[in-house]
Amino acid sequence: MKRIITTDKAPKAIATYSQAVETNGMLFIAGQIPINPATGKLIEGGITEQTEQVMQNIGEILTAAGYTFKDVVKSTCLLTSMDHYAEMNAVYGKFYFENSPARAAFAVTGLPMGALIEIETIASR
């Protein structure tokens, strides 16, 4: 059975998708960009600030679904430049400091709303 996860503590979907979907003990979180959920706007700042906001948004969705960062098994990080990789990784590592999930990171030509980063996440119980 499929369960749609939503929370006001993370940004509302800006297109036709759900914040997250849970099925068979797996949680699939849609790609999160650095939107402040209170304003619905992209936060100001560089890759460090944007990564922090993305991770906070992911954390709120995990919590709403009854998961934690320890349950995350896979992340996909999309960056507008691989020059941002080290700074992104420093922030990311604060959330996954042991038993990190599998991860891929890609450079892309553009992200919604002019974001520098987007991260999609899969968690499992």
Q: Read off the pLDDT of residues 34-70 as tens digits, 9 standing for 90 and up.
A: 999 999 999 999 999 999 999 999 999 999 999 999 9
Q: What is the DSSP letter of 13?
A: P
Separate counts of helices (H) and strands (E) for the chain? 2, 8
Q: Domain containing 67 — which CATH number?
A: 3.30.1330.40
- Give this prediction's pTM: 0.96
- 57 sits in which H/E element: helix 47-65
Q: What is the pLDDT of residues 68-110, one digit of tens each?
A: 999 999 999 999 999 999 999 999 999 998 889 999 999 999 9
- Count of structural domains, the chain: 1
Domain that holds residue 91: 2-124
125: helix, coil or strand? coil
